[in-house]
Amino acid sequence: MTTEQLAADTIRVLAIDAIEKAHSGHPGMPMGMADIATVLWHDFLKIDPDDPTWPDRDRFIVSNGHGSMLLYSLLHLAGFELSMEDIENFRQLGYPTAGHPEVALHRGIETTTGPLGQGFGMAVGMAIAETQLEARFGSYLVDHRTYVLVGDGDLMEGVASEAASLAGHLSLGKLVVIYDDNDISLEGPTSWSFSEDVPARFRAYGWRTETVDGHDRDAVRGAIGDAVTQRDRPTLISAKTHIGFGSPSKQDTAKAHGSPLGSDEVTVTKEAYGWTLPPFEVPDAVYGYFADAMERGRKARLAWSDRMAGAGAPVTELWTSHFDPEPVALVPPAHDAGSSVASRAVSGEVIQVLGELRPDLLSGDADLAGSTKSNFSGEPDYSPEDRAGRNVRYGVREHAMGATVNGINLHGGLRAAGSTFLTFSDYMRPAVRLGALMGDPSIWVWTHDSIFLGEDGPTHQSIEHLAALRAIPNLWVFRPADPAEVAAAWQVALNRTDGPTGIVLSRQGLPVPETLAPVDSAIRGAYVRRPGDDAVIIATGSEVWVAEEAATLLADRGVSLRVVSMPCVEAFLDLDEHSQRDIIGRNLPRVSLEAGVTFGWERFTGRRGLTIGIDRYGESAPWQDLAEHFGFTPGAVADRIADWLESQRDS
């Protein structure tokens, strides 16, 4: 038996044993893709376990993340920070060998995968980031590839189709996708639901394709070797494999996909491999085999470090501005008091300032830059002809934009923002949630934020979206009311490094107040816009001015209403309890005001409070008419609060 064969079988056996011990997992994919992974890691992949975060390393993503034991076996054998104890405790509490890979760069895990297709989309983002940085710094500092393993499930999901279309359009030649074409999904044969010619589809996207026997390691070696010569087209290698390879009774069946083999089948499978070692024991030759492979990356990393050391101050300073940027401190764009300006327009002004302050920032849109105001003026678009362009045109592909932006930010060296209408955040939700889970600092610009976008009607009028997005842990959602709050939202978004931020903006103009609160006030998530002693109203975004004018009307009736603007619920809840009470007030009757569903506001108003919102879909009409119709005018709000306070006194 060759050492290469022994290495592939070691990966298979480690996966089998770990899954069997856990009584849970997916053995079929690691058993089927072990030959491919062995060739890729030994002969091609440029990584270094001594410095797993080295910027010019190749990126390796297992999009079919249910096969996580393939990745964990490789990382352990190659000398990354993943012990045999971790392998033995696969899927157990407190160990890094989770059921699906969770990003841990120091261990060599580039991204969190499992929701199928997301890893594919993030790989496209990483490939974009590589070309962008190469254009800025040259191939002597940036020259690496992105390799991604995918399964049938990945390619059935729509996000992968969108991302593949984008990658082909952008000619991402350093992207290599290896497709585990085994004709089996979780329930049974893929023929039940999937009969397309996948390579033909990818060729139509503009990809180069090659089909090989995934167990013929020389053929795999040749296909990957051909792929790494490409510069103008991404490559799909369709590798014909046997799921559960080597299992006498479960190979090529769905029984190998999502369940342990069972002790009897483990025994006969190991006999088929000629494997005689006890569970979790690895031949020394295999450790040596992968250690030799890692020397390639170690030498490349040391050579890169020498090149960086000799690059000169201008280059190293620019590099630092990308990989370790200074925090930003913003001032609001100037607008005359009493004028009216949409918060999306103010955001567009802030983006122009940020374009100067943060050369690492990319801004993209889903065919809506004219509406979301997200483009850098005077900057070229990112394209095959101009890899340094900072405006990324994702097309009508919100699914792919979400995953791709996550991938760009995970890559390092760039910060990426993506924009669309708030109602289309539904298309992005899996990527937004995954980014929050990973702590990926993606920035989302969502405009046309309520029924007040007007005539486009209820299909485009976001009602439930704010509540739904606020339900995602670690996603901070800003809904600013004026230029100071827009500046605060962007300042937080750029300075956050532990999670994503959404900036939710209006289509319609909002009044500019006589005096803007300090940006630092809005950064805290909430602050007092107007003092009051009888009750407090908490408002967001386009309803803040309504609350302030309602307070003026109520003052004429002898009611002193405190107005609190809460641009970011999550930032407010991050404050200590004493600070929260100082802002909202102590023992005051509470009212919330937001042009969205009232769900979620009870956490602030309490059981006896008043929540003013809209718990039904909107109508197609000018926004001023909708405000009258749905009771979001100062007079209507003042009347509701007065009647409610009266009912409280009577009860």
pLDDT tens digit sequence for 449-477: 999 999 999 999 999 999 999 999 999 99
Asked whether residue 54 is assigned to any structural domain, the reply reads yes
Residues annotated as catalytic are 398
pLDDT tens digit sequence for 112-136: 999 999 999 999 999 999 999 999 9
Give me the chain's average pLDDT, please.
Answer: 97
How far is Cα 182 from Cα 185, in angstroms, rounded to an integer?
8
Residue 261's pLDDT is: 98
How far is Cα 643 from Cα 116, in angstroms, rounded to an integer?
52
Q: Examine the domain organization and report whether 127 and 227 are in the same domain.
A: yes
Residue 602 CB neighbour total at 10 angstroms = 14
Q: Examine the domain organization and report whether 581 and 625 are in the same domain.
A: yes
Q: Examine the domain organization and report whether 530 and 499 are in the same domain.
A: no
Q: Examine the domain organization and report whether 292 and 430 are in the same domain.
A: no
Q: Examine the domain organization and report whether 562 and 603 are in the same domain.
A: yes
Asked whether residue 604 is assigned to any structural domain, the reply reads yes
pLDDT tens digit sequence for 477-532: 999 999 999 999 999 999 999 999 999 999 999 999 999 999 999 999 999 999 99
Q: Examine the domain organization and report whether 506 and 557 are in the same domain.
A: no
How far is Cα 397 from Cα 408, in angstroms, rounded to an integer?
16
Last residue of a domain, one of 256, 283, 302: 302
Classify burial at 313, counting beta carbons within 10 Å of its beta carbon; exposed 0-12, middle 13-18, buried 19 or more.
exposed
Asked whether residue 331 is assigned to any structural domain, the reply reads no
Last residue of a domain, one of 490, 511, 532: 511
User: How many structural domains does the chain have?
Assistant: 3
Asked whether residue 372 is assigned to any structural domain, the reply reads yes
322 falls in which pLDDT band (50, 70, 90)? very high
How far is Cα 364 from Cα 418, in angstroms, rounded to an integer?
5
- Region 65-82: mean pLDDT is 98
Whether the pLDDT of residue 77 is over 90: the answer is yes
- Domain enclosing residue 67, as ranges: 3-302
Asked whether residue 518 is assigned to any structural domain, the reply reads no
Last residue of a domain, one of 488, 511, 534: 511
CATH of the domain at 447: 3.40.50.970
Q: Examine the domain organization and report whether 41 and 151 are in the same domain.
A: yes
**DSSP letters along 453-522, please?**
G-TT-TTT--SSHHHHHHTSTT-EEE--SSHHHHHHHHHHHHH--SS-EEEE--SSEEEPPSSPPPHHHH
HEC sequence for 441-461: CCEEEEECCCHHHCCCCCCCC
Q: Examine the domain organization and report whether 287 and 348 are in the same domain.
A: no
Q: Examine the domain organization and report whether 279 and 132 are in the same domain.
A: yes
Residue tagged 């999904």 (tokens) = 185
Whether the pLDDT of residue 346 is over 90: the answer is yes
**DSSP letters along 353-416, please?**
HHHHH-TTEEEEESS-HHHHT-SPTTPPBP-SS-TT--EEE--S-HHHHHHHHHHHHHHSS-EE
Asked whether residue 83 is assigned to any structural domain, the reply reads yes
Asked whether residue 327 is assigned to any structural domain, the reply reads no
651 falls in which pLDDT band (50, 70, 90)? low
649 falls in which pLDDT band (50, 70, 90)? confident
Residue 607's pLDDT is: 86
pLDDT tens digit sequence for 46-65: 999 999 999 999 999 999 99
- Region 427-456: mean pLDDT is 98
Q: Examine the domain organization and report whether 248 and 99 are in the same domain.
A: yes
Residue 93's pLDDT is: 98
Residue 566 CB neighbour total at 10 angstroms = 27
648 falls in which pLDDT band (50, 70, 90)? confident
Q: Examine the domain organization and report whether 468 and 536 are in the same domain.
A: no
CATH of the domain at 548: 3.40.50.920
Q: Examine the domain organization and report whether 206 and 282 are in the same domain.
A: yes
Asked whether residue 474 is assigned to any structural domain, the reply reads yes
> Among residues 525, 482, 602, 44, which one has the least CA distance to residue 297?
44
